[in-house]
Amino acid sequence: MGRVVQLHGELYAREFGYDATFEALVAEIAAGFLREFEPRAERCWIAEMDGEVVGSIFLVRSSATVSKLRLLIIHPRARGRGLGRRLTQACIRFARRAGYRKLVLWTQSHLTAARAIYQAEGFRKLSEEKHRSFGKRLVAEVWELKL
Q: Whole-model pTM?
A: 0.95
Residue-wise pLDDT tens digits, 1-40: 999 999 999 999 999 999 999 999 999 999 999 999 999 9
In whole angstroms, what is the distance from residue 146 CA to residue 19 CA? Answer: 33
Residue 66's pLDDT is 98
Q: What is the pLDDT of residue 110?
A: 97
Give me the pLDDT at residue 120, please: 98
pLDDT for res 93: 98
Tell me what the mean pLDDT of segment 44-52 comes to: 96
Query: Which pLDDT does position 146 carry in this prediction?
Result: 98
**Complete domains list, the chain, with CATH:** 2-146 (3.40.630.30)
pLDDT, tens digit (0-9, with 9 covering 90-100), for 65-107? 999 999 999 999 999 999 999 999 999 999 999 999 999 999 9
- Count of C-beta atoms within a 10 Å radius of residue 50: 7
Please report the sign of the dihedral spanned by the C-alpha atoms of residue 117, residue 119, residue 123, residue 127. Answer: positive
Task: Find out whether 74 and 84 touch, Cβ atoms under 8 Å.
Answer: yes
